[in-house]
Amino acid sequence: MKKLFEGKVALVTGGGSGIGQATALAYAANGAKVIISDISNNDTVSKIIEAGGEACFFQTDVSIAIECAQLIKQSIDMYGKIDIAFNNAGILGEINPIADMSIEGFEKVISVNLNGIFYCMKFEIEQMLIQRGGVIVNTASILGEVGFGSFSGYVAAKHGVVGLTQNAAIEYSSKGIRINCVAPGFINTPLLNKLDNKTKAELAIKHPIGRLGKPDEVASLVIWLSSDAASYASGGYYPIDGGYLTL
């Protein structure tokens, strides 16, 4: 039986851990050749190869435009195309009320979480226009819709990701490029490592489902949006949050 992404190439930024790694493994399990990007080397490629898949790694800081351009060039040099791009790289950033937040801390999270999405999309779309098609999925957040005290940089960036996704869908859906974003609730990944266990427990009960999410649960949604089963989905904001936004 033909696999879901057989013959396709998928790019995952922030693919070294958490949601990125879970999604990269899922792409590979479904037949895709996977390009892993992150700020440092990791074990995602080896996990894919051990499972019988094909993958490569390119070190990239998505907050630097030229590195994003180089990532796309390296990917095309390696596989000749990019069918799917999952722009997932992100940081939690400085946690402080606005008056106490450092300028550097705010600018850092915007640079990675918002500028990085723009840079990656710009160069991915340039390539997908040449190919006459492709799929892009961006990682936004439930905090792309609502606020959360002391997370102003993260909230601002994720609201921006939603806007970029919607605008890109308006501009390129008619050209065969589908662009959506996923909006995870609080997911149990290394991104939350700076929070203590008490804070994590308090966050868990804010979700009606009663727990934090798992990376592979988000990966399942990304896989659907990346597939032909979602052929009419473009410009969407897809919460996967255990009911958080219903409260």
Q: Which residue has the tokens 């896989």?
A: 223
Q: Render pLDDT for 158-184 as a digit per residue (tens, 0 to 9).
A: 999 999 999 999 999 999 999 999 999
* pTM of the predicted structure, to 2 decimals: 0.97
Q: What gap in Å lies between CA 27 and CA 44, rounded to an integer? A: 12
Domain count of the fold of the chain? 1
For residue 125, what is the domain's CATH number?
A: 3.40.50.720
Catalytic, out of 79, 119, 154, 172: 154
Binned at pLDDT 50, 70 and 90, residue 32 comes out as very high
- In a domain, residue 190? The reply is yes
- Residues of the chain with pLDDT > 70, as a percent, come to 100
154 is catalytic: yes
Q: Render pLDDT for 109-147 as a digit per residue (tens, 0 to 9).
A: 999 999 999 999 999 999 999 999 999 999 999 999 999
- pLDDT at position 185 is 97
pLDDT: is 195 or 224 the higher one? Answer: 224
Strands (E) across 149-236 are located at: 177-184
- In a domain, residue 231? The reply is yes
Does residue 59 sit in helix, strand or coil?
A: strand
In the predicted structure, residue 15 carries a pLDDT above the cut 90: yes
- Rounded to the nearest integer, the mean pLDDT of the chain is 97
Helix, strand, coil content of the chain in percent (nearest 5): 50, 15, 35
- In a domain, residue 37? The reply is yes
- In a domain, residue 167? The reply is yes
Whole domain around residue 218: which residue ranges? Answer: 9-239
Q: What gap in Å lies between CA 115 and CA 168, rounded to an integer? A: 14
- In a domain, residue 245? The reply is no
In the predicted structure, residue 194 carries a pLDDT above the cut 90: no
Q: Which amino acid is at 96?
A: N
CB atoms within 10 A of CB 205: 9
- In a domain, residue 4? The reply is no
pLDDT: is 1 or 103 the higher one? Answer: 103
Binned at pLDDT 50, 70 and 90, residue 193 comes out as confident
Q: Render pLDDT for 55-98 as a digit per residue (tens, 0 to 9).
A: 999 999 999 999 999 999 999 999 999 999 999 999 999 999 99
Q: What gap in Å lies between CA 208 and CA 229, rounded to an integer? A: 28
Q: What gap in Å lies between CA 71 and CA 168, rounded to an integer? A: 20
- In a domain, residue 216? The reply is yes
- In a domain, residue 22? The reply is yes
In the predicted structure, residue 38 carries a pLDDT above the cut 90: yes
Would you tell me the crossing angle of helices 65-79 and 116-131 to the nearest 10 degrees? 30
In the predicted structure, residue 8 carries a pLDDT above the cut 90: yes
